[in-house]
Amino acid sequence: MLSQERQSQIISILEKEHVIKITDVVKKFHVSHETVRRDLETLQEQGLVKRVYGGAILTEGTPSNPVSPRSGGHGYAERRAIGKLAAGLVHDGDTVLLAMGSTILEVAKNIRHIKDLTVLTNSISVLNELVDSDVTLYLLGGHVSSAEHHMDGQLALQTLQFFNVDIGFVGAGGVTIETGVSDYSYEAAQMIQTMLTRAKRTVLVAQSEKFGKNCFSVACPLNAIHTIVSDNNLSNDYIKAIQEMGIEVILASAENNG
């Protein structure tokens, strides 16, 4: 079976079951755990699934037929526009903290050219993006999450205490006015929470579809964020409620992002 066919069937299963385990895919298709991880990583890069511990869940709004990796998948245009706009908040000589996530990666792609920039990250994807640039790069050590391609755990959290940065960018699995920022795992939420304490200015980058959702683990209340960068599909009710909390809202237009 070709990988594209197997990935299409994985999406079909997720549409019915909402969650899939790596072990179940291994048994069903008689492939290795590594093959399944690669499949899920490919689907996550396309924006079709979200990796969680031991498996994956379906990304909200995923179409029945997966798109090609080149097109970027569901929500890619929004993530790209958000990342480009958020990168405009970074200036020459800044120290920057980049968390993990596909939208954060889009921020990283747009700051390579900034002069005298120092970046601290726990994301292997961000590391790969910036390692051949002129950016001074620091990678947080710790437990390597093979599912999410980032570092987490107590060692990474402790290492963060040695740094202060000008601006910190974090993502989210869900955002609500009442609960704040949340994510799919406790470890990811703890990293977000600690990262926010190390930055003078905190920026949340999140697609509009993340708003109104609460995920498993709470990272921080919304008032821990100074600026939110989202796309222009964010509802007026949310924009108003966020602004009333004194949080800056910046909206990106995917249509105008060339």
Residue 256's pLDDT is 57
Indicate the SS3 state at residue 191. helix
- One DSSP character per residue, 98-138 reads E-SSHHHHHHHHTSTT-TT-EEEE-BHHHHHHHTTSSSEEE
Beta strands 95-98 and 118-121, pairing class: parallel
Q: CA angle, corner 151, sides to 42 and 228, nearest 5? A: 80
User: Of 65 and 5, which is predicted with more confidence?
Assistant: 5
Indicate the SS3 state at residue 76. helix
Q: CA angle, corner 93, sides to 89 and 95, nearest 5? A: 70
Which range, 127-131, 140-144, 153-157, 241-245, is most confident? 241-245
Residue 255's pLDDT is 67
Tens digits of per-residue pLDDT, 150-171? 788 899 999 999 999 999 999 9
Residue 148's pLDDT is 62
Instruction: Of 207, 190, 105, give the one whose Cα is nearest residue 156.
Output: 190
Residue 1's pLDDT is 63
pLDDT confidence tier of residue 3, bands split at 50, 70 and 90: confident
Residue 257's pLDDT is 58
Residue 66's pLDDT is 44
What average pLDDT does the segment 199-228 reach? 94
CATH topology of domain 3-68: Arc Repressor Mutant, subunit A (1.10.10)
The residue type found at 258 is: G
Domain at 76-252, CATH class: alpha beta
Instruction: Answer whether residue 94 shows pLDDT above 90.
Output: yes
Tens digits of per-residue pLDDT, 176-191? 999 999 988 888 899 9
Domain boundaries, the chain: 3-68, 76-252
Q: Please give the model's pTM, rounded to 2 decimal places.
A: 0.73
Residue 67's pLDDT is 42
- Give Dmax (Cα) for the chain: 54
User: Of 257 and 128, which is predicted with more confidence?
Assistant: 128
CA 130 to chain centroid, in Å, comes to 16
Give percent of the chain with pLDDT exceeding 70.
90
Rounded-to-integer distance, Cα 186 and Cα 182, Å: 9
What average pLDDT does the segment 99-127 reach? 92
Is residue 240 within 8 Å of 249, Cβ to Cβ? no
What average pLDDT does the segment 101-111 reach? 91
Residue 68's pLDDT is 40
User: Of 193 and 2, which is predicted with more confidence?
Assistant: 193
- One DSSP character per residue, 4-58 reads HHHHHHHHHHHHHHSEEEHHHHHHHHT--HHHHHHHHHHHHHTTSEEEETTEEEE
Residue 198's pLDDT is 96
Topology match between the domains 3-68 and 76-252:
no
Would you state the structure tokens that stand for residue 71, as one six-digit string? Answer: 């097109």
Residue 228's pLDDT is 98
